[in-house]
Amino acid sequence: MSLPYVDTTKPNSTTTTVVLGSNANTGDNYYNNYSISIDGQTVVIASYNGSTSTATLMSALTAAPKSGDPFIICNSSITVISIGLVSGASTVSSVVIGSGKEVTDIYSTNYLTLGTDTVKISGYSGATLTATLATNLSGAPTTGEAYAICKDDPSAFLFGLNTSFIGGNRYFEIAVVVCIIVLSISCVVSLLFMMGGSSKNGNSGNDGVPQQPPMNFSPNFSPVYYPPTYR
């Protein structure tokens, strides 16, 4: 499953290991260096065993997660605002969340991740705990399904790159790509310039300007005349 990954835990988690849900990726080290937010805490994943869906954490949680606890795994620069379970009848355009927040519009302009969907929240009713979505989900969520609400779009990072150690910033990733492109163009231009060279023997170059012949650095030796001597 691609990132961000929102799900609920399986049994047997500890303060230093989290057993991920049934939708977890089966590849070893797939979630390495990404952050997992669970039960109000955010820690970095040190290693991941794909066969057991177990993430080993770089630092310990204050308490072992219970089976069925919701979590999100995403880039470390993302601010996770709320994680919970869908608590009522929802549709593709509105989701009843179970955080208990009862402040009008507290989640507006934030992003909701649910399953494989990440959509922007256009409005929130504290009275009904319902988040209205700017675009529709691919399917109506079910009661008890895990969701996460983030300040920024956790799916917006280029190539799905994990850049936790260098800030995890999508603008940094864009800058890296631009630098690679510029460097590649510079190398091509330099190569073409060296291959083209300049015209020799005073011939005109492509710009019509006579070119100087190449400089000869070989030393010139003139014969020395020694007059004969007579005795």
State whether 171 and 72 are in the same domain: no
Token couple for 163: 């850049």
pLDDT digits (tens, 9 = 90+) for 87-110: 989 999 999 987 555 556 678 889
Given this model, what pLDDT does residue 178 score? 72
In a domain, 231, yes or no: no
Average pLDDT, the chain: 81
Give the range of the structural domain holding residue 80, as residue numbers without chain letter: 5-155
Those residues whose C-beta lies under 8 Å from the C-beta of residue 57, and which sit 6 or more positions away, are: 16, 17, 18, 36, 43, 44, 45, 46
State whether 80 and 179 are in the same domain: no
State whether 15 and 83 are in the same domain: yes
Judge contact between 112 and 70, C-beta under 8 A: no
Strands 54-57 and 35-38: unpaired
Any idea what DSSP says for residue 195?
A: H
pLDDT digits (tens, 9 = 90+) for 114-162: 999 999 999 998 888 899 999 999 999 999 999 999 999 998 764 444 4
Number of domains forming the structure of the chain: 2
pLDDT digits (tens, 9 = 90+) for 64-82: 999 999 999 999 889 999 9
Those residues whose C-beta lies under 8 Å from the C-beta of residue 115, and which sit 6 or more positions away, are: 6, 137, 138, 139, 141, 145
State whether 114 and 173 are in the same domain: no
In a domain, 211, yes or no: no
State whether 64 and 131 are in the same domain: yes
The 3-state secondary structure of 166-185 reads: HCCCHHHHHHHHHHHHHHHH
- Of 5-19, 71-85, 187-201, 203-217, which range is least confident? 203-217
